[in-house]
């Protein structure tokens, strides 16, 4: 699954659409505990025979026969589930999951399939754990197959999970309804009673009843369709491979599709609403190419005869890897050749790659090691797309994922990538930056250390050995080690330091002649001295020097060590290409030497190395290891920079400074700082053409620079954007704007009432996801409070603007200097409704919490945030995103108290005049 906040390669570094005014918050996890220590009582008052959140392991499912009939008019469904089970110890109680389902009948048959005798099962429900107990008259015999038959009914969910309702409006204005599924992590229980934990793998035979005007699709190909009655058809789908319940999927809709075959004969299809099926071709071609790549890379044939990709009109996250039927937000799959942006093409390719990588590694899913599943798929995005779509240059963006993860991982409220989970909120909130981005970064670090060939051999052996099984961390490390010939390195011991400990190391480098002294400590924000956690990592260090650009390596396993250079050097740069998950501090004149290098010949080191220096410098300011003046001095070289990653990293460090000032009464310094930023990048801004020419990176850089310039009221940009908007409006929106400048043009046009209203009218009729997101952004940067309040109300209501957009809109308005009090108020007043719609512990809730509060920087705001979330008790007070935002606000206060006057002095008397 791809949480929306993680979907786009650059949005996760906070600097795509929302970077310039919004700096989107990261997804973060909840750690709520709600298990009941007393003896549980079923809903009818009877004793419930199981008191744990996780299911017992002595009843095991082998196969499910599902029949589901959904009525898209009444928005209800009913079904029959037959589950073949065996018991490993005698028991009279079969415990499984069911949530918001009305079970009308349950029976037990001896043997698999159709047996002669059925005995009734007594049904007990325990809603706090979303469990039911089916009680037999006599204990099940060990090893004997039984079939449990359950008849039930339910309502299509009004949320974004389970078996839920989605709608769309046709070009003619007709509203049409469809039903789709989203079961990860624990929502299959909302569609059928089941053993809803990933370790309980089974095969599935699925039958769907539908009206003739609809189409049903599921994980496997259609075997046959049977007419049950007039106006009612039952579709029978082939039996699945053995898999977890969260991977089951089915959709009933009027979608249309386009298809192609891979070289090995796998049919790939993209499904979408009829009005948008013409936008499916890019994703279809990408999916075919990527599936062929994965078959070759893993040396494992794709195990299913088909792979469907479906664009769902209402979808909370970015995408979902259901086996054989991956589902997506429309914006993550559909590409409009005339209107979609370069970043959209990059994002779609990466998202499709991520979900198809999952099709090879569904063995990775044990709850404690979710990161193996998601981190691996995130990592494989870059491995695959760098080969299949080299023009996208995805390798340029990888290290930004690591910086994104480090922002979260530097807080005391972080967690190891491998973490035990129990309750639903804990499970949902493991889908965060640490599981995805850090997981990918440490896998990349291991590949760089072992070599790409060794890493690949280990992965292939692992997948071949553990296909369809549940696995643990060490199974992967052992597979890697078997291909690694250096006996002095223990791969498992090395990687345990990265997976079983939270956080990451700060490496301090002190050069004394030819001697390089290295020291590692736990980097953690919140104090100027490193906390004594006692953590040590096995750190695969890399470095280059002024005398040699060949990469040198050193494995640091102790707190301190020394390496000896062949000769003295003018400068040394560690963590080459940012392939390691650590940051570096250079003591004495180390930073001065590197700042001087950037000032004189910045191209002596790679653009990734330049960006990592910018990032590391400001991370060190946060813990008092480097002065803010030195970090700002380093950024002055950016006036000569032309590459996307250092420029974006500079924006990622500098923009938050004035965003903090916007939420205090600091208008004078805030204005000076914004002016400094434009002066710093003015030469690069002036060189941007208002066209769609150039590579993907050049186009993305152009789009962001012009947006920054226009939003910061740089007049040459504003005047040109106003001219474009006026002509576009006069053409009733029919004039074709250069895609790369559209965001800047819309942002300027939305600053007056007529322009804002016109953009909204175009939003409602647009069929392009890129255009809609550009208009959405522009509407949210308005300085009109009434307009902003209307956006909050309407996007939550879901009629004019879909509710799936609400978390993003709330965050955008939360970053708006005029709108942030409205966003914070809306979150507080509607908390219970938000949790009901988006679920406690979801990445959407975390995005909203962080997006509305984590740029606060006053003690009054901190007290307000603490007071509100404390009052929620079990309905949110223990969410990890709440802990994170409180830590972040405390850090903001410390940072501003320490650095604001220094910034003011630096601006008034210091280096900016050199620009």
805 sits in the region (left: phi over 0; alpha: psi -120 to 50; else beta) called: alpha
Choose, from 316, 355, 641, 839, the residue flagged as catalytic: 355
Question: Per residue in 53-99, pLDDT tens?
Answer: 999 999 999 999 999 999 999 999 999 999 999 999 999 999 999 99
Residue with structure tokens 């956690």? Answer: 533
- Greater model confidence, 369 or 624: 624
DSSP 433-457: HIIIIIHHHHHHHHHHHH-HHHHHH
Is the per-residue pLDDT at 816 higher than 50?
yes
Burial class, 567, CB count within 10 angstroms (exposed 0-12 / middle 13-18 / buried 19+): exposed
pLDDT at 113: 60
What value does the mean pLDDT take over residues 458-483?
Answer: 77
3-state secondary structure 30-49: CCCCCCCCCCCECCCCCECC
CA–CA dist 546, 572 (Å, integer): 6
Q: How far apart are CA 876 and CA 853, in angstroms?
A: 15
> Distance between the two ends of the chain, CA-based, in angstroms?
45
What is the rounded average pLDDT of the residues 457-468?
80
Q: DSSP characters for 757-803?
A: HHHHHHHHH---HHHHHHHHHHHHT-S-HHHHHHHHHHHHH-SSS-G
Q: Give the number of other CB atoms < 10 A from CB of residue 491.
A: 24
Q: Coil, helix or strand for 223?
A: strand
> Which tokens go with 571?
């400068």
Residue 626 has a pLDDT of 97
Q: How far apart are CA 731 and CA 711, in angstroms?
A: 24
pLDDT, tens digit (0-9, with 9 covering 90-100), for 707-735: 999 999 999 999 999 999 999 999 999 99
Query: What are the tokens at 507?
Result: 């490496």
pLDDT at 839: 86
Residue 847, CA distances (Å) to 268, 275, 814, 820 in order: 33, 31, 11, 14
Give CA 840 to chain center in angstroms: 17
- With a CB cutoff of 8 Å and minimum separation 6, the contacts of 721 are 706, 710, 741, 744, 745, 747, 748, 749
Nearest CA to 18 among 851, 882, 763? Answer: 851
In eight-state DSSP terms, residue 202 is B
pLDDT tens figures, 238-280 = 999 999 999 999 999 999 999 999 999 999 999 999 999 999 9
d(CA 124, CA 131) in angstroms, rounded, equals 9
Cβ burial of 864 (10 Å; 0-12, 13-18, 19+) is middle
Report which of 783, 699, 700 is spatially closest to residue 747, judged by C-alpha positions: 783
Question: Mean pLDDT for the chain?
Answer: 90
CA–CA dist 811, 246 (Å, integer): 29
887-915, pLDDT tens digit by residue? 999 999 999 999 999 999 999 886 655 55
Q: How long, in residues, is the chain?
A: 915
Tokens of 281: 């071709």
Assess whether pLDDT exceeds 70 at residue 389. Answer: yes
Residue, of 209 and 416, whose pLDDT is higher: 209
CA distances for 687 relative to 642, 706, 738, angstroms: 10, 10, 16
Distance CA 847, CA 28 (A): 8
Number of H helices, E strands in the chain: 28, 27
pLDDT confidence of 361, banded at 50, 70, 90? low
- Helix (H/G/I), strand (E/B), else coil: 18: helix
- State residue 230's pLDDT score: 93
Token reading at 486: 């250096």
The answer on pLDDT for 413 being more than 90 is no
pLDDT above 80 (res 530): no
Percent of the chain at pLDDT exceeding 90: 77
Structural tokens at position 589: 């004149």
pLDDT digit string, tens, across residues 632-660: 999 999 999 999 999 999 999 999 999 99
pLDDT band at 20 (very low <50, low <70, confident <90, very high): very low
Specify the 3-state DSSP secondary structure of 731: coil
d(CA 225, CA 217): 12
Say what the pLDDT of residue 6 is: 44
567 is catalytic: no
CA 138 to chain centre: 47
Collapsing DSSP to helix, strand or coil, 85 comes out as strand
**Ordered alpha helix ranges (H), 106-242:** none
pLDDT reported for residue 469:
63
Query: Would the pLDDT of 189 be above 90?
Result: yes
DSSP of 559-571 = SEEEEE-SS--S-
Nearest to 245 by CA among 316, 190, 164: 190
Could you give the CA distance from residue 626 to residue 612 in angstroms, rounded to a whole number? 15
Measure the CA–CA gap between 788 and 751, rounded to whole angstroms. 12
Residue whose C-alpha is closest to residue 710's, from 721, 702, 700: 721
Angle between helices 880-909 and 859-872 (to 10 degrees): 170
DSSP state of 194: B
Strand duo 250-253 + 59-71: pairing:
unpaired
What tens digit of pLDDT does each residue of 112-146 get? 665 567 899 999 999 999 999 999 999 999 999 99
Q: Nearest CA to 327 among 192, 438, 161, 201?
A: 161
Cα dihedral: 810, 816, 817, 819 (round 10) = -40
Give the pLDDT of residue 376: 86
- Dihedral sign (CA 120, 121, 124, 125): negative
How far is 489 from 483, CA to CA, in rounded Å?
A: 12
Strand partners, 133: 95, 124
How does pLDDT run across 841-882, given as a tens digit for each residue?
A: 888 999 999 999 989 999 999 999 999 999 987 777 888 899
Q: Output the CA–CA distances (angstroms, integers) from residue 44 to 48, 92, 135, 702, in the order listed.
A: 10, 19, 14, 64
Q: Is the pLDDT of residue 25 over 50?
A: no
**Percent of the chain at pLDDT exceeding 70:** 90
Phi-psi label, residue 162: left if phi above 0, alpha if psi -120 to 50, beta otherwise: left
> Exposed e or buried b for every residue in 174-192, given b needs 16+ CB within 10 A?
eeebbbbbbbbbbbbbbbb
The per-residue pLDDT for range 751-800, each reduced to its tens digit, is 999 999 999 999 999 999 999 999 999 999 999 999 999 999 999 999 99
Lowest mean pLDDT among 139-143, 215-219, 417-421: 417-421
Q: What is the pLDDT of residue 27?
A: 31
A 10 A CB-CB count for 574 gives: 25
Question: What is the predicted pLDDT for the residue at 9?
Answer: 37
Class of residue 257 by CB neighbours under 10 A (exposed 0-12, middle 13-18, buried 19+): middle
Structure tokens at 729: 């409006």
- Which residue's structure tokens are 């902003």? 788
d(CA 206, CA 208): 7
The pLDDT value recorded for residue 431 is: 66
């Amino acid at each position: 699954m791809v949480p929306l906040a993680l979907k786009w390669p650059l949005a996760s570094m906070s600097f795509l659409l929302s970077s310039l005014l919004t700096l989107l918050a990261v997804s973060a996890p909840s750690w709520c505990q709600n298990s009941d220590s007393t003896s549980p009582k079923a809903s009818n008052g009877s004793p419930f025979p199981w008191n744990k959140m996780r299911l017992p392991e002595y009843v095991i499912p082998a196969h499910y026969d599902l029949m589901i009939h959904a009525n898209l008019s009444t928005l209800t469904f009913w079904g029959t589930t037959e589950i073949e089970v065996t018991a490993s110890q005698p028991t009279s109680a079969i415990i499984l999951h069911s949530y918001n389902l009305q079970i009308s009948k349950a029976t037990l048959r001896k043997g698999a399939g159709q047996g002669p005798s059925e005995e009734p099962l007594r049904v007990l429900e325990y809603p706090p754990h979303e469990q039911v107990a089916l009680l037999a008259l006599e204990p099940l015999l060990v090893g004997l197959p039984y079939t449990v038959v359950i008849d039930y009914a339910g309502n299509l969910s009004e949320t974004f999970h389970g078996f839920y309702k989605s709608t769309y409006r046709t070009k003619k204005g007709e509203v049409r309804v469809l039903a789709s599924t989203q079961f990860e992590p624990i929502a299959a229980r909302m569609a059928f009673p089941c053993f809803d934990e990933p370790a309980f793998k089974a095969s599935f035979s699925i039958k769907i009843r539908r009206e003739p005007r609809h189409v049903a699709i599921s994980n496997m190909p259609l075997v046959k369709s049977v007419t049950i009655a007039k106006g009612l058809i039952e579709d029978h789908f082939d039996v699945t491979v053995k898999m977890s319940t969260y991977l089951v999927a089915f959709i009933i809709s009027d979608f249309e599709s386009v298809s192609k075959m891979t070289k090995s004969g796998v049919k790939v299809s993209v499904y979408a609403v009829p009005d948008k099926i013409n936008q499916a071709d890019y994703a279809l071609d990408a999916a075919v190419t990527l599936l062929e790549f994965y078959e070759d890379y893993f040396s494992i044939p794709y195990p299913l005869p088909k792979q469907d990709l479906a664009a769902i009109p209402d979808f909370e996250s970015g995408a979902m890897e259901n086996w054989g039927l991956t589902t997506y937000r429309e914006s993550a799959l559909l590409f409009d050749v005339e209107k979609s942006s370069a970043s959209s093409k990059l994002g779609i390719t990466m998202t499709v790659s991520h979900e198809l990588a999952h099709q090879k590694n569904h063995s990775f899913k044990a709850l404690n090691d979710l990161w193996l599943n998601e981190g691996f798929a995130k990592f494989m995005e870059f491995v695959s797309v760098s080969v299949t779509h080299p023009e996208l240059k995805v390798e340029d963006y990888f290290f930004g994922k690591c910086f994104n993860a480090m922002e979260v991982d530097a807080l005391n409220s972080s967690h190891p990538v491998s973490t035990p989970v129990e309750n639903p909120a804990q499970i949902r909130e493991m889908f965060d930056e640490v599981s995805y981005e850090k997981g990918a970064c440490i896998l990349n670090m291991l590949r760089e250390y072992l070599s790409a060939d060794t890493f690949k051999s280990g992965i292939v052996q692992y997948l071949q050995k553990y296909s369809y099984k549940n696995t643990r961390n060490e199974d992967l490390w052992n597979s890697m080690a078997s291909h690694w010939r250096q006996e002095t390195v223990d791969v498992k011991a090395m990687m345990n330091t990265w997976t079983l400990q939270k956080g990451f190391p700060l490496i301090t480098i002190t050069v004394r002649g030819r001697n390089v002294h290295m020291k590692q400590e736990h980097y953690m924000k919140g104090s100027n001295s490193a906390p004594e956690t006692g953590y040590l990592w096995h750190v695969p260090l890399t470095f280059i020097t002024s005398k040699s650009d060949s990469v040198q390596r050193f494995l640091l396993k102790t707190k301190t060590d020394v390496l000896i250079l062949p000769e003295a050097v003018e400068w040394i740069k560690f963590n080459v290409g940012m392939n390691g998950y650590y940051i570096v501090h250079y003591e004495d004149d180390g930073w001065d030497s590197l700042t001087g290098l950037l000032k004189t010949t910045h191209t002596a080191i790679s653009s990734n190395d330049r960006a990592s220096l910018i990032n590391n410098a400001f991370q060190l300011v946060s813990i008092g290891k480097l002065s803010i003046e030195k970090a700002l001095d380093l950024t002055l070289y950016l006036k000569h920079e032309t590459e996307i990653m250092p420029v974006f990293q500079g924006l990622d460090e500098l923009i938050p400074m004035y965003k903090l000032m916007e939420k205090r009464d600091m208008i004078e310094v805030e204005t000076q700082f914004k002016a400094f930023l434009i002066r710093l990048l003015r030469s690069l801004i002036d060189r941007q053409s208002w066209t769609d020419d150039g590579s993907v990176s050049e186009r993305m850089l152009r789009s962001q620079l012009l947006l920054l310039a226009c939003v910061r009221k740089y007049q040459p940009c504003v005047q040109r954007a106003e001219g474009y908007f006026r002509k576009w409006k006069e053409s009733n929106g029919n004039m074709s704007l250069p895609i790369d400048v559209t965001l800047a043009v819309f942002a300027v046009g939305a600053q007056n009432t007529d322009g804002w209203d016109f953009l909204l009218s175009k939003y409602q009729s647009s069929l392009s996801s890129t255009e809609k997101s550009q208009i959405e952004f522009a509407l949210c940067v308005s300085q009109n409070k009434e307009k902003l309040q209307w956006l909050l109300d309407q996007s939550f209501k879901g009629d004019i603007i879909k509710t799936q957009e609400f978390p993003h809109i709330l965050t955008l308005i939360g970053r708006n200097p005029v709108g942030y009090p409205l966003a914070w108020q809306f979150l507080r007043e509607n908390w219970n409704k938000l949790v009901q719609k988006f679920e406690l512990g979801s990445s959407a809730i975390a995005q909203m919490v962080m997006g509305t509060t984590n740029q606060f920087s006053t003690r009054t705001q901190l007290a307000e945030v603490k007071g509100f979330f404390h009052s929620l008790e079990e309905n949110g007070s223990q969410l990890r995103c709440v802990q994170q935002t409180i830590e972040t606000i405390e850090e903001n206060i410390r940072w501003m108290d320490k650095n604001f006057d220094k910034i003011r002095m630096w601006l008034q008397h210091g280096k900016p005049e050199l620009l």
